[in-house]
Amino acid sequence: MVYGKILLPGLALFLAAAALPASARNDRSRAAAVYMDASAPIEDRVEDLLSRMTLSEKIYQLNQYVLGENDNTNNIGDVVEECPGEIGSLIYFGESAVTRNAMQKRAVEQTRLGIPVLFGYDVIHGFRTVYPIPLAQAASWNPDLAARACRVAACEAASSGIDWTFSPMVDIARDARWGRMAEGYGEDPHLCSVFAAAAVKAYQGDSLAAENSIASCLKHFVGYGASEAGRDYVPTEISRQTLWDTYLPSFKAGVDAGAVTLMSSFNNISGIPGSANSYTMTEILKGRWGHKGFVVADWNAVEQLINQGLASDRKEAARLAFNAGLDMDMVDGCYQEHLASLLNDNTVSEERLDDAVRRVLRVKFMLGLFENPYTEELPESERFLLPSSLDVAEQLAQETMVLLKNEGGVLPVGDDVSCIALVGPLAKSREDLLGSWSGRGRAEDVTSIFDGLSSALSGRAELLYAQGCDFEKNDTSLFAEAVSAASRADMVILCLGEKRSWSGENASRSTIALPPVQEKLLAAVKRTGKPVVVLLSNGRALDLTRISPAADAVLEIWQPGVRGGNAVAGILTGKYNPSGKLPVTFPYTTGQIPIYYNRRSSGRTGMQGRYQDIPSTPMYGFGFGLSYSDFSYGTLTVCVDGSGNRVSSGEGVLDFTLGQTLTAEVTVTNTGDTDGKETVQWYIRDPYCSVTRPVRELKHFEKQMIASGESRTFRFEIDPVRDLGFVDSGGNPFIEPGDYFIMVGDQKVTVRLGSPE
Ligand code: NOJ
């Protein structure tokens, strides 16, 4: 891991200052002020405090500085020479509350108004207890379990002095070359929306003021995932219709779930960068959606408006971003430098300034920072890697893993297997299982695949290890050892995939196939004739054209976090039954990108519009995943609630009128001999609409455990306006009379909305 140390020359000074007695500037009357009265309504407190603030104090609130160690090489900024106690926020890289408390003391006790600092950090998929990457979490189709992991993250982060996480990332990603696909919940607006809401609620808890609640931040607002050719930071071309259909819904879901902040995106949205886009930040977010929290810039995003060709200098960049609705500047200092003179020039209004400050203060009051500015300093053993936290990490990891192929039921490993060859560059890696943006996670906390399997197979089967090859170096000298181990074993488990640095920010790849040396290693061990199980650890969809056909079984394990090795071992040995399903389409090859399941229909069918050299269908579609159980779906039935009218799949059309609701129902039976979880996915389609609609759209899903031989009924309660209606390119919802398909598995029922009288 590369650490860029951002050391503050001013820090020593700063901490020394914290030890001084309260400054004379401290307003002694503040104890009696309304804003310090915890029983007063938050809005009254905000107004009272605002009315006491000087221009300089207001501007400080709109600036975020950085302090501490930074593990993201893209985020290494200028050394902060001075860190005034009046600042709005700090990006904080500490693991203990000690530095935070010293800094907070300075803000609270040695500034005139005593406004606490807001400490933010990227707690993306765990703080110290690192759990699977967000893309993997979506593969669990279990938002409640993902929420439990977010709760663990919130507790660990809060105990370390963090008030605010820059998570969840709810960008829709349909180009797997983009490294940040790992950080989001995949390609589908509905799946992403459900996980967005679950994460926000879990981070923020029932009350933001509660001890272990942290504020969430929906990012990157908006359309960052549409980056052209999968390159990071580049422009995006997004029509208004696509903005509303595809990129905004997950943000809306997060806002509805209570997210108090959003981060503006780096991308240029069809000419207007996300960080200077008044349509998205002011008109939509603050206007139509009524969001009362604040928008923070992404790192240096205000200054980057110059590179993007919108602003000619930092002052103009500050004006454009601020007037567009971006409230807090992250790190680059443009607001700090220029807001006062922009006010003086009358190119920024006092109303806008007060609006932005109000928003920041509101979040601070909601977090209870004025009442509880400090964090209790507890030992790490009481906060990190607790058994219950590790258990959540393991449960989530095992539910995220997707069984893509299992020919001849080679998995789970049978009792007849007494010797296994564990091969591949990932078999012993700990660090790579952490994935990108792994908070304060450490490689030594991780159970590797080798460790997990060694203990699971102990006394049951022998494990032979051979690395086989490097991740990408085209050196085949280690193949012989791997082939020899494979020849001696009954089965090969081949651990292939990506290094953690191959995904994340600024980590685009031109091909999503694995490096040739890994594919060659598979071919070499396959030639032994032994069954080969391929485990894949990666942060994006992969091109498996040369992997999948050569393997007997393929298990996608993603980047599963600290308990990854235990989860893998559990699935391979049958302790866990795989239940993950793909949250992104796995294309046949990179050349199919962008590819996603919910496209609009083509004008021509059959052989027309197809590739000449490759199939046009993906290797593994969205929502695909096998189980050790077999699930059989009964007949899909849809009824009009309260009317007794009902139609089953294969029958006629079900009529309904606006104002009525529908219920779709299917019973699923586990016909296998293993208990297992099944996720039922409900899709809809409007076959003819004044704005053409996708061939399928996920609208609801539910995961349930079904014991062997038992059945469970799954329901989709359909609110037609919500589930069958759409928005136009102006974001206005509408629903049209006519036919809609309700689909589950390979079954379909047509429902018909009558025209209004
Ligand atoms: C840049 C990244 O784009 C963003 O996701 C992250 O939250 C910030 N840096 C802060 O680290």
Per-residue model confidence (pLDDT) at position 176 = 98
Using an 8 Å Cβ cutoff, are 699 and 190 in contact?
A: yes
Compute, in angstroms, the gap from residue 228 CA to the centroid of ligand 1.
Answer: 19
pLDDT tens-digit map of 613-645: 999 999 999 999 999 999 999 999 999 999 999
Is the pLDDT at 302 greater than 90? The verdict is yes
CA of residue 67 to ligand 1 center, whole Å:
14
Q: What separation in Å is there between the alpha carbon of 299 and the centre of ligand 1?
A: 6
Q: How far is the CA of 143 from the centre of ligand 1 (A)?
A: 24
Amino acid in the structure at residue 523 = A
At 71 the pLDDT is: 52
The pLDDT-based confidence of 72 (bands split at 50, 70, 90) is low
343 pLDDT exceeds 60? yes
- Which residues have CB under 6 Å of ligand 1? 72, 75, 122, 166, 219, 298-299, 505
The protein residue with its alpha carbon nearest to ligand 1, atom 11, reads 122
So what's the pLDDT on residue 100?
86
Supply the pLDDT for residue 25: 47
Given a cut of 90, is residue 95 above it in pLDDT?
no
Residue 565 parent element (H or E): helix 564-573
The neighbouring-strand residues paired with 734 are 726
pLDDT band at 605 (very low <50, low <70, confident <90, very high): confident
Give the position of tokens 């503050």: 8
For residue 183, the ligand 1 atom closest to its alpha carbon is 5
Considering only CA atoms, which residue is closest to atom 10 of ligand 1? 299
Mean pLDDT, the chain, as a whole number? Answer: 94
CB 701: neighbour CB atoms within 10 A? 21
Q: What pLDDT does 259 receive?
A: 99
User: Of 19-33, 116-130, 188-202, which range is least confident?
Assistant: 19-33
Tens digits of residue pLDDT in 540-559 = 999 999 999 999 999 999 99
- Looking at residues 30-51, what average pLDDT do you find? 96
The pLDDT value recorded for residue 74 is 52
Query: What's the rounded mean pLDDT across residues 272-290?
Result: 98
The per-residue pLDDT for 68 is: 56
**Looking at residues 174-191, what average pLDDT do you find?**
98
Banded model confidence at residue 27, pLDDT cuts 50, 70, 90: low
pLDDT of residue 93: 80
Q: What positions carry a catalytic annotation?
A: 298
Of 92, 122, 203, 216, the residue with max ligand 1 atoms within 8 A of its CB, to mutate for a pocket test, comes to: 122
DSSP class per residue in 300-317: TTTTHHHHTTS-SSHHHH
75 CA from centroid of ligand 1 (Å): 7
Query: Which residue has a Cα nearest atom 9 of ligand 1?
Result: 299
The β-bridge relationship of strands 637-640 and 662-670 is antiparallel
Longest dimension (CA), the chain: 82
The protein residue whose alpha carbon is closest to atom 1 in ligand 1 is 299
Res. 360 pLDDT band, cuts 50 70 90? very high
Pairing of strands 711-718, 662-670: antiparallel
| Distance of CA 264 from the midpoint of ligand 1 (Å) | 10
pLDDT the model gives residue 26: 54
Prediction pTM value: 0.95
Lowest mean pLDDT, pick from 70-79, 378-387, 698-707 = 70-79
Query: Which mutation among 72, 89, 169 tests ligand 1's pocket best, with the greatest number of atoms within 8 A of CB?
Result: 72
Q: Rounded distance, CA 291 to CA 677, Å?
A: 37
- What pLDDT, on the 0 to 100 scale, is given for residue 2? 28
Residue 218 φ/ψ, nearest 5 degrees: -75, 130
CA of 499 to the centre of ligand 1 (A): 20
Which of 23-37, 108-122, 371-385 has the weakest average pLDDT?
23-37
Res. 78: pLDDT tops 90: no
Tell whether the model's pLDDT for residue 67 goes beyond 80.
no
Tokens of 330: 């992250």
pLDDT band at residue 77 using 50, 70 and 90 as cut-offs = very low
- Among residues 674, 690, 571, which one has the least CA distance to residue 631? 674
Band (pLDDT 50/70/90 cuts) for residue 12 is very low
The dihedral over CA atoms of 97, 103, 107, 110, expressed in degrees to the nearest 10, equals 120
The alpha carbon of 122 and the centre of ligand 1 are apart by a number of angstroms equal to 7
HSE (CB half, 13 Å, CA atoms) of 604? 5
Task: Using the atom order of ligand 1, give the atom closest to the CA of residue 219.
Answer: 5
CA 298 to centroid of ligand 1, rounded, Å = 6
- How far, in Å, CA of 598 to CA of 695, rounded? 6
Return d(Cα 719, Cα 723) in angstroms, integer: 6
CA distances from 738 to 626, 697, 753 (A): 36, 17, 5
Ligand 1 atom closest to the Cα of residue 220 is 5
Q: Which of 65, 75, 221 to mutate to test the pocket of ligand 1 (most atoms within 8 A of CB)?
A: 75
CA 324 to ligand 1 centroid distance, Å: 20
Q: What is the pLDDT of residue 102?
A: 84
Pocket test for ligand 1, best of 69, 219, 275, 329 (most atoms within 8 A of CB): 219
pLDDT of 22 over the 60 cut: no
Alpha-carbon distance of 253 to 535, in angstroms, equals: 34
- Atom 7 of ligand 1, nearest CA residue: 166
In the chain, pLDDT over 90 holds for what percent of residues?
A: 90
Mutate to test the pocket of ligand 1, among 6, 505, 506, 508 (most ligand atoms within 8 A of CB): 505
Tell me: pLDDT of 140 over 60. Answer: yes
For residue 166, how far is its CA from the centre of ligand 1 (angstroms)?
Answer: 7
DSSP string, 94-156: -SSHHHHHHHHHHHHHSSSS-PPPEEEE--SS-SSS----HHHHHHHT-HHHHHHHHHHHHHH
Distance from residue 526's CA to the centre of ligand 1 (Å): 42
Tokens 């906390």: give the residue. 445
